[in-house]
Structure 1
Amino acid sequence: MTEQEIVHRVDPARVAWRLAGDEVVVLHTGQSVYFGLSGSGALLWPRLVEGATGSELVTALLEGAEVGRDRARADVAAFLADLRGHGLLQEP
């Protein structure tokens, strides 16, 4: 299974979140750390709550932001790595 086929999902056991205007406010409940997501992060977050593959996230970014495919792939990979590094995603 490739990275593009893995379903990425927010870990509901460790994450609480709310939409606040155009931003998403995320709380890592185990560490009591807040994160603010805007722009592309706020666009992708709801898809991660439901569960989405890397390919689906790239497509969403291409439809919702003015970026090229290579940039969208790189941005999605970096976003997922950042979220995973902070322990906000379930392990695949």
Structure 2
Amino acid sequence: MNTETTTLYQVDAERVAWRTVGDEAVLLDVRNSVYFALDSWAVLLWPHLVTGATAADLTAVLAAHAPVDPERAAADVRSFLAELDTADLLNRH
């Protein structure tokens, strides 16, 4: 089974406070009082993570809006998810 199409990633709403500022977003890990800044491409993906999305969903969104090929979009999504996961800001369903 392909985890890119079956694992649903969702922001841990109890752990993250966030606000968009122009084409960027600022996140606050409320447990550790650590701020994160998202660039415009990550901001594009963020609403999908708030509601829940698979890596394949996120890759499709990024590939549709960014000037990158699908393989690069998939690699960027994996990297973004890994960063959020390392910070313990995501839930998996």
Q: Is the 8 A contact 2:7 2:92 kept in 1?
A: no
Alignment: residue pair count: 92
CA distance in 2, matches of 1:21, 1:63: 21
Amino acid at match of 1:31: N
Which residue of the partner structure matches residue 2 of structure 1?
2
Q: CA deviation at 1:70?
A: 0.6
Q: CA deviation at 1:78?
A: 0.6
Which residue of the partner structure matches residue 58 of structure 1?
59
Q: Is the 8 A contact 2:8 2:92 kept in 1?
A: no
Which residue of the partner structure matches residue 21 of structure 1?
22
Residue deviations 1:54-77, cap 9 Å, x none? 110000001110100110110000
| RMSD between superposed Cα atoms in Å | 1.0
Give the unaligned 5+ runs of structure 2: none
Q: CA deviation at 1:40?
A: 1.4
CA distance in 2, matches of 1:82, 1:67: 20
Structure 2 length as normaliser, TM-score? 0.93
Which residue of the partner structure matches residue 82 of structure 1?
83
Give the unaligned 5+ runs of structure 1: none
Query: Runs of 4+ in structure 1 displaced over 3 angstroms?
Result: none
State the identity %: 46
Structure 1 length as normaliser, TM-score? 0.94
Which structure: greater helix fraction?
2
Q: CA deviation at 1:32?
A: 0.2
